[in-house]
Amino acid sequence: MIEGMLSRPRRNRKSAAMRGLVQENHLGSQDLMYPLFVMDGSGKKEEIPSMPGIHRFSIDLMLKEMESCMNLGLKAFILFPAVEDSLKDKVASYSYDKGNFYLKALRKAKENFPEVVIATDVAMDPYSSDGHDGVVENGEILNDKSLPILARMTLAQAETGVDIIGPSDMMDGRVSYIREELDDQGFESVSIMSYTAKYASAFYGPFRDALESAPKFGDKKTYQMNPANKREAILEAEMDESEGADILMVKPAMAYMDVIHSLREESNLPIAAYNVSGEYAMVKAAAEKGWIEEKKVVPEILLGFKRAGADIILTYFAKQMAEYWQK
């Protein structure tokens, strides 16, 4: 006996069953949302070089992919469009064009799988010849001129029957602007998952490869947040909450666990963490070299998001995790 040592935390770790009883956080397929990249055409599937295992799909193959994910237990998807350069312009008019393949993909996804949650992305960058999330004039990204375009895009997406609209543009006031527009048009049951604390991050590189959506000049620092700031994330969260957001998102996730935690403490809304493309690519690259054990590292990272306070995790690892769980 060691004098005075009455507490021994190791007692609660003595067996797998004991550890199971005292486990504080759990991860399951119901927590995950799987991002899918969609492109026009049919029978097309292209791997994204900087994101091994992740593809751009034409609509027919996207539906097949969704089905195979659903068979593994996944129930939520967020779709992103890879738009041809020739369809891009300064005001992202293709985003609400009736012939837009992305809108068709959203509609087909809901028609084929009404029971799953489908989320969208609202921002101008995939459709903008400037590669920015808002309207560009004289090298400036204009806030208030972007709002009506974002609202038009939102309505076009809502009409397809989707569950969640995901504004990722970081324009001020866009949550209330699109909430009012949705409600005016009778879409009061369509949810808004706001990219509340979206940082100007270098971790989005592979995603921009996937969509060929990198800014044509400058960076996104006048609208996306400074990675050095946390109080500002709380301010954004308070605004989004008062503007009618249903879910608040932090993005990226791995280098921003403290922000996830702070928003969890500050708000009673569900918190989503977006485990972004660069975070995925880092793990894949290290695993490919045999430097880390992917099968163990991935759940450790995702559980970290839960521990920090995330309810929903958007991750490119979703399908792979669902496969691990099936085995």
**Binding region for ligand PBG (CB under 6 A):** 121, 123, 125, 133, 168, 204, 207-208, 276-277
Cβ at position 121, least distance to ligand PBG in Å: 5
Which CB, 166 or 304, lies closer to ligand PBG?
Answer: 166
Smallest distance, ligand PBG to C-beta of residue 82, A: 12
Give whichever of 8 and 216 is closer to ligand PBG, judged by the CB atom. Answer: 216
**Under a CB-based contact definition with an 8 Å cutoff, are residues 58 and 45 in contact?**
yes
Identity of the residue, 212 or 265, whose beta carbon is nearer to ligand PBG in the bound complex: 212
How many CB atoms are located within 10 Å of the residue 198 CB? 27
Catalytic entry in 88, 108, 220, 251:
251
- Burial 114-135, CB ≥16 within 10 A → b, else e: eebbbbbbbbbbbbbbbbbbbb
Q: Catalytic: 104?
A: no
DSSP, residue by residue, 203-267: GGHHHHHHHT---SSS-STTTSBPTT-SHHHHHHHHHHHHTT-SEEEEES-GGGHHHHHHHHHH-
Cross-strand partners of 220: none
- Amino acid identity at 175: V
15 vs 298, beta carbon nearer ligand PBG: 298
CB of 134: closest distance to ligand PBG in angstroms? 10
CB of 327 to ligand PBG, least distance (A): 26
Question: Which positions ≥6 away from 269 have C-beta within 8 Å?
Answer: 241, 245, 246, 247, 248
Measured from the CB atom, the residue of 85 and 188 that comes closer to ligand PBG is 85
Other Cβ atoms within 10 Å of 149 Cβ, number: 22
Position of minimal CB gap to ligand PBG: 207
Catalytic residue status for 198: yes
The answer to whether residues 277 and 204 touch, using CB atoms and an 8 Å cutoff, is: yes
Distance CA 129, CA 140 (A): 14
Pick the catalytic residue from 88, 108, 198, 319.
198
Task: Report the nearest approach of ligand PBG to the CB of residue 23 (Å).
Answer: 29
266 touches 276 (CB < 8 A)? no
Based on CB atoms, which residue is closest to ligand PBG, 47 or 184?
47
Q: Cα separation of 28 and 224, whole Å?
A: 31
Backbone angles phi, psi at 239, to 5 degrees: -65, -50
Instruction: Report in angstroms how near the CB of residue 168 gets to ligand PBG at its nearest.
Output: 4
Catalytic residues: 198, 251
